[in-house]
């Protein structure tokens, strides 16, 4: 009986392997419209079969070739098969940490160094830039995954895309460009180092209908330029990622630039984009090249249905540098049920924050930056802000730097009143007195550091 099951597993594996090869070849040559018709036919049952096969191959590959995983996975793979892939995976009790990848990425390399075709770098959210090694095959798959996400936004070969991501060490600009070109879309590789007036002239001159960039950059672009009505009407999609986007800023971007905003989520450790919004805008559809888990921050166990926890990811199609149960540090939850768009892919909610973003204020209450983002979303006069937490005479101090076109005493009082609406902050100001009254400072400009923008900064270490 056991031998029969093993033979059956091998036959199923062979069939899946052949069909995957045929599908990849088909995806690389058919038109965007044909591909868009193909995607809805991928049922969750079919996707799960492919994930099971890819998980089995990933575990086998990592156990045999990755110095980091060899000792951890070898006992697991002794009885590994297609039918036991998921159950074997669930027995793994350990995680891969960002620190391990950052400190010695070579220990994760599962191919000879001579076969490394490219090195990607993370944006440094959790510390130093991590080095991510890719093979030629890995590099070819990344734009395909991006392309599948773009098709949910209604893009066609008639569109013109203006790339406003960086073309530097954070390679999103080049990855977006390659993916859009594969769909037959004309790309303008402008980057984010030209002034907003130049961006505006390109939009008007070349008939841009797609914009890609970080939310903060495109938001500031929207505030600074004044497109013609023809340009706004022509704009179809604004593809954003790399940072959180508040609902207020989304509305401003869409009203000023035209088009529909689609947010994406990703990590350079996994090739950049791994999830994107569809036209329903009810969470991010996770691409099938990753296996996601959401775990409790303290225990590491799976959270209950629709509870928030830390997103943990496993690569399912990575040759050079497979990552098993990688702790992303991002806090989110699964969205249960079917999406009205019809895509049979798992969905996660927007990122609530990062594990290392939580900041303790007053009597040890921990806050995610999203708390303050949501607060300022309700104040129409505020264009942008930055919150610094200081320490004075044994008490915490909230110093709010506020960007607005209409600074006034009334606005300062309005902001203070909103702060008091957060009950725990009000208690720490009035009752426990561990927190001083907030300090409001109106400014003309916020000097953001390079990379991802950080709106909540803890300065207390500097003041001890």
Q: Based on the domain organization, do 296 and 371 belong to the same domain?
A: no
Whether the CB-CB separation of 137 and 321 falls below 8 Å is answered with no
283 shares a domain with 184 = yes
CATH number at residue 292: 3.40.50.12780
Total count of domains within the chain: 2
Would you say how long the chain is, in residues?
464
**Residue 227: band (very low, low, confident or very high) from pLDDT cuts 50, 70, 90:** very high
Domain boundary among 338, 356, 374: 356
Contacts of 125 (CB under 8 A, 6+ apart): 329, 354, 452
Cα–Cα distance, 257 to 17 (Å, whole number): 45
With cut-offs at 50, 70 and 90, classify the pLDDT of residue 409.
very high
Give the pLDDT score at 273. 87
> Is the pLDDT confidence value at 266 over 70?
yes
pLDDT at 267 over 80: yes
Residues 399, 342, single domain; the answer is: no
**285 and 207 housed in the same domain:** yes
Whether residue 178 lies inside any domain: the answer is yes
Task: Report the candidate in 389, 455, 442, 372 with the shortest Cα–Cα distance to residue 411.
Answer: 442
Confidence of residue 5 (pLDDT cuts 50, 70, 90): very low
**Statement to judge: residues 165 and 203 lie in one domain:** yes
In a domain, 23, yes or no: no
Q: 409 and 334: one domain? A: no
pLDDT band at 229 (very low <50, low <70, confident <90, very high): very high
- Determine, yes or no, domain membership for 184: yes
H-run or E-run covering 71? helix 67-77
Does 464 score more than 50 pLDDT?
no
Are 210 and 294 in the same domain? Answer: yes
**Does one domain contain both 426 and 293?**
no
> Does residue 198 sit in the same domain as residue 254?
yes
Please report, for the domain that includes residue 410, its CATH number: 3.30.300.30
Within this chain, do residues 226 and 139 fall inside the same structural domain, yes or no?
yes
The last residue of one of the domains, among 303, 336, 356, is 356
Q: Are residues 245 and 297 in the same domain?
A: yes
**Residue 357's pLDDT band (boundaries 50, 70, 90)?**
confident
pLDDT classification of 42: cutoffs 50, 70, 90: confident
Give tens-digit pLDDT for 421-439.
Answer: 998 899 889 988 899 999 9
The parent domain of residue 255 ranges over: 134-356
CA distance 52 to 21: 16
């Amino acid at each position: 009986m056991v031998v029969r099951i093993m033979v059956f597993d091998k036959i199923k594996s062979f069939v899946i392997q052949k069909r995957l090869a045929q599908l990849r070849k088909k995806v690389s040559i058919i038109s965007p419209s044909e591909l868009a018709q193909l995607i809805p036919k991928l049922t969750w049952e079919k996707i799960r079969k492919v994930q099971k096969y890819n998980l089995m191959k990933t575990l086998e590959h990592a156990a045999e070739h990755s110095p980091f995983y060899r000792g951890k996975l070898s006992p697991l793979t002794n009885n590994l098969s297609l039918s036991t892939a998921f159950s074997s995976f669930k027995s793994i009790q350990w995680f891969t940490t960002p620190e391990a990848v950052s400190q010695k990425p070579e220990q994760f390399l599962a191919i000879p160094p001579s076969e490394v075709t490219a090195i990607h770098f993370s944006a440094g959210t959790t510390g130093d830039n991590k080095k991510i090694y890719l093979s030629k095959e890995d590099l070819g798959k990344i734009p395909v995954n991006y392309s599948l996400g773009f098709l949910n936004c209604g893009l066609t070969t008639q569109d013109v895309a203006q790339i406003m991501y960086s073309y530097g060490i954070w390679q999103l600009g080049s990855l977006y460009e390659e993916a859009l070109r594969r769909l037959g879309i004309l790309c303008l590789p402008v980057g984010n180092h030209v002034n907003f007036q130049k961006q505006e002239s390109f939009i008007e001159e070349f008939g841009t209908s797609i914009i890609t960039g970080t939310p903060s950059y495109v938001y500031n672009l929207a505030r600074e330029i004044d497109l013609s009505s023809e340009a706004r009407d022509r704009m179809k999609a604004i593809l954003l990622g790399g940072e959180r986007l508040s609902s207020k800023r989304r509305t401003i971007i869409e009203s000023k630039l035209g088009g529909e905003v689609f947010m994406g989520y990703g990590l350079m450790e996994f090739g950049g984009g791994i999830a994107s919004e569809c036209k329903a805008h009810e969470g991010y559809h996770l691409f099938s090249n990753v296996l996601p888990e959401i775990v409790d921050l303290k225990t590491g166990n799976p959270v209950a249905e629709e509870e928030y926890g830390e997103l943990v990811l496993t690569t399912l199609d990575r040759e050079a540098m497979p990552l098993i149960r990688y702790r992303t540090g991002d806090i989110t939850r699964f969205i249960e049920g079917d999406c009205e768009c019809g895509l049979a892919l798992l969905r996660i909610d927007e990122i609530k924050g990062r594990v290392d973003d939580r900041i303790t204020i007053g009597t040890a209450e921990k806050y995610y930056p999203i708390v303050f983002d949501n607060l300022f979303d309700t104040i129409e006069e505020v264009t942008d802000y930055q919150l610094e937490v200081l320490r004075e005479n044994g008490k915490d101090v909230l110093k709010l730097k506020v960007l607005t076109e209409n600074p006034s005493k009334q606005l300062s009082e309005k902001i203070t009143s909103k702060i008091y609406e957060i009950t725990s902050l009000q208690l720490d100001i009035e009752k426990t007195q561990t927190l001083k009254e907030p300090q409001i400072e109106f400014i003309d400009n916020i000097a953001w550091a390079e990379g991802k923008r950080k709106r909540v900064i803890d300065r207390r270490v500097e003041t001890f």
